[in-house]
Amino acid sequence: MSAPTRVKVVENGPVLEITFDHPPANAFDQQACRDLDAAFGRLCETPGLRCAIVTAGGERIFSAGWDLKAVAAGDTGEDFGPNGFMGLRRQFNKPVIAAVNGLAVGGGFEFALHAHIVLAVPQAEFALPELQRGFIPEAGGLWRAYRRLPVSIANELLLTGRRLSAEEGLRLGFVNRIVPRESLMESARAIAGQICTAAPLAVEALLEVARAVETVPDAAAFGVMYGDLPARRRMRESDDFLEGPRAFAEKRPPRWSGR
């Protein structure tokens, strides 16, 4: 008999809603990581899906990351699937909103660092305590912390394991909004709805270009953007590329076809 999934997935129109569901800590073992990455594959490969909201069950912990209790019990394998722990090697071609409902530790924080938009309840906290456990963040959180946060703050969080509050994350620009717990998903769905009004191929092209030029100087970034990036090429050659200007000129909402 197979173990119950730790990841619940629901399609809400064009939005894929993913919920971590392994109380009390929403920790991830090998199978849970593969299940989560399969959900992201569904998002990326289904034309009708435009973005995802990722949240967690319960009211205290978003995710404690790696299931250290399972590791201590002998589950030391690291077959997390083709995109690594919690799918964090995957390059998303569609926006992912993290609706953080509590403590995000280790992989939970690493996931939030990889998301495009982060909403948090006032009680949310973020921490990378890996060094205090005898290892380092290896699912992307190490360098993403330096990219998303001031270097001195990233150094402190990584070296000491201290927790970053939602309020401090907001001040530093890592957290987009702090919202009451009872309206967390409502707020996430409102942002997802706004994303879904944009041309789908343009959204994919934007994420592709932003990723390709992330660490490239300005002069070289133009060369990368005007090179042969596939999502940008599809956008430029699509019907939607002309639909936007037509809709503007005709004073009507655009009718995106995704083609």
| Enzyme catalytic residues | 110, 130
Measured between alpha carbons, how far is residue 106 from residues 49, 75, 179, 235, 241 in Å?
Answer: 28, 18, 23, 36, 41
Residue 107 buriedness (CB in 10 A; 0-12 / 13-18 / 19+): buried
At 123 the three-state DSSP class reads: coil
Q: CB 38: neighbour CB atoms within 10 A?
A: 16
Which residue, 176, 126, 177, is CA-closest to 156? 126
CB 39 within 8 A of CB 89: no
Provide the 10 A C-beta neighbour count for residue 204.
22
Q: What single DSSP character describes residue 140?
A: S
Point out which residues pair with 55 in neighbouring strands: 19
Q: In what order do the strands lie in the sheet with 51-56?
A: 7-12, 15-20, 51-56, 96-100, 117-120, 177-178
Cβ atoms of 113 and 107 within 8 Å: the answer is no
